[in-house]
Amino acid sequence: MPATRDTDPLSADLARRRSLRYLNLFRLVMAAVFLFFGKTIGLGEEAPGLFLGFAAVYLFAVLALGFPDAVERLGLNRVVTVQMLVDITALTLLMAVSGGTRGGLPMLLMVLLAGGGLVSHGRWVLFYAAVATLAVLAENSVRLLVRGAASDFFVVGMVCIGFFGVALMARLLAIRALANEALAQSRGADLARQQAINERIIEDMHDGAIVVDAELRVRQANPQAAALLGLPLPVGASMRELAPALAQMLADPAADCHQCRPDGGKPLRCRVVRAEGDGGHTIIYLQDLEAIQAQAQQIKLAALGRLTASIAHEIRNPLTAVTQAAELLSEEKRAESQARLIRIINDNALRIEKLVRDVLSLGRRDRALPEALPLAAFVTEVLDEFTLHGETEKAQVVAQIPPELTLAFDRAHLHQVLWNLLTNARRYASPAAGAIRVTAEREDGHTRLHVIDDGPGIRAEDRAHLFEPFFTTHAKGTGLGLYIARELADANRATLSLRDTATGAHFCLSGPSEP
């Protein structure tokens, strides 16, 4: 049916049944008024007996067609059609004995046509309007032929046009209402499904989740939260009574993420998210701190295992070279060959020593003691140590750092990070003056230290592996310099990154200005 093809048929049918009940109630009241108070309001003056008879029959028909079993027997569409034809017939007959269109009954007929537009189906509303128009025109014509006192046909025509206008308007409004209701039901169903999914996700979360209102009363909580706190969390209960320590933390507007042990229970990591514009609701995420630490320990052990395997592989090559050179040295009698073999032994021994020293520096990352280091003075000290072999080396490195800048960093860690970056820069930079530039600035509350060289730069395919352990593009490199530098930066709440630049390499160390 065109009227409801975009809506759920069952939902549209229920809406029509509800509207029909209200329309039948209006019919019942109207028929009772005609029967008992018609004479009082000036109706049926031309034939009072016929008026009472028509009113009584109309009341009986309304009662008969208004029972629910009538819809079950005849069907909703047939009952609506029969009721509308009875309404038109009854009102036309009452109009005939009450002065025609001058009695005001056509207005009631318009109301019934509007109600028929709400409960009818398809284009039947036009049929009802057409029947009402023919009935009124016929009544006026008969009045003209029999009594010679008909109403003005122009007025009657306007009334009939009103029949069609009211019927169509009511039908369009009914279609719109049904479409909106179907849309609301569809969105309600989608919202219910989404809510059910969200509740299931929250229940299956490994982390605890609690939603409290402005009065710190529980609005929602998943089973994991109750398990972590070791107490039930019924909806409506006060967190001040259930977990006073947690409630005291929530009372602090600045509370965001804390480690807590509510009422002597297991240590937890509590993260607070305050929902803006949601009635003051607050979401509390709880995590088992022991489980987090155990997971971190497992990750650290796994990384240590991979690192140990890589170290064993890296040490094997120079150790093999040392062993072979020592064997050849015992057999070699020429002084020149002996010197070459000794040099091989020394070079590989130094390579092993550097590898071990770099690995040992990783063990110091957890012992960071950040302090506000005057960056200009500190970099000057490092450069004085780095450029000990003459004026050419000193001219190669240029530092431009404002004297007021500070960087919160462990002194030994920053020395090693800067040394590694300068070593890499010297390895690839040209010997020209100013080939390596060290600059710094403050931006967004952070101090950024830049080390830039004019070398060939880093290939695009190497950028993704640049900070991986034992990745190197240099024959004498261990592949741990940049990896250690980033690990030490992370231990000091700083970041080490590679910036895009037209030529050479550009490394940026960014960290807080104050500890």
Backbone angles phi, psi at 2, to 5 degrees: -60, -30
The percentage of the chain sitting over the pLDDT mark of 90, rounded to a whole number, equals 2
Q: What is the pLDDT of residue 368?
A: 67
What is the assigned CATH class of domain 368-512? alpha beta
- The answer to whether the 207-291 and 368-512 domains have the same CATH topology is no
pLDDT in tens, 397-441: 888 889 888 988 888 888 888 888 888 888 888 888 888 889 999
**Count of alpha carbons within 13 angstroms of residue 106, beta-carbon side:** 27
Residue range 91-103, pLDDT digits in tens: 888 888 887 777 6
More confidently predicted of 132 and 261:
132
How much is the pLDDT for 258? 66
Residue 363 has pLDDT above 60, yes or no: no
Residue with more model confidence, 184 or 368: 184
For the segment 106-130, what is each residue's pLDDT rounded down to a tens digit?
Answer: 888 888 888 887 787 767 888 888 8
Q: Which residue has the higher pLDDT, 515 or 376?
A: 376
Phi, psi angles (nearest 5°) of residue 400: -135, 90
Hey, what CATH topology would domain 293-362 get? Helix Hairpins (1.10.287)
Q: In this structure, what are the phi and psi dihedrals at residue 47, rounded to the nearest 5 degrees?
A: -150, 80
Instruction: Identify the pLDDT of residue 7.
Output: 46
- Domains of the chain, by residue range, sit at 9-186, 207-291, 293-362, 368-512
The span from the CA of 323 to the CA of 316, in Å, is 10
Which range is most confident: 94-108, 183-197, 284-298, 474-488? 183-197
Regarding pTM above 0.85, the answer is no
In percent, the amount of the chain with pLDDT more than 70 equals 77
Do 121 and 1 form a contact (C-beta atoms < 8 A)?
A: yes
Whether 275 and 281 have beta carbons less than 8 Å apart is answered as yes
- Give the residue, 250 or 184, on which the prediction is more confident: 184
Q: What is the mean pLDDT of the chain?
A: 78
Provide mean pLDDT across the span 204-210.
Answer: 80
Give the pLDDT of residue 2. 39
DSSP characters for 61-115? Answer: HHHHHHSHHHHHHH-HHHHHHHHHHHHHHHHHHHHHTTTGGGGSHHHHHHHHHHH
pLDDT over 80 at 365, yes or no:
no
The CATH class given to the 207-291 domain equals alpha beta
Question: Is pLDDT at 357 greater than 70 in this prediction?
Answer: no
Predicted confidence (pLDDT) at residue 6 exceeds the cutoff of 60: no
Question: Do 447 and 376 meet the contact criterion of CB atoms below 8 Å apart?
Answer: no
Band of the pLDDT at 450, cuts 50, 70, 90?
very high
Higher pLDDT: 72 or 209? It is 209
Would you place residue 3 in the very low, low, confident or very high pLDDT band (cuts 50, 70, 90)? very low
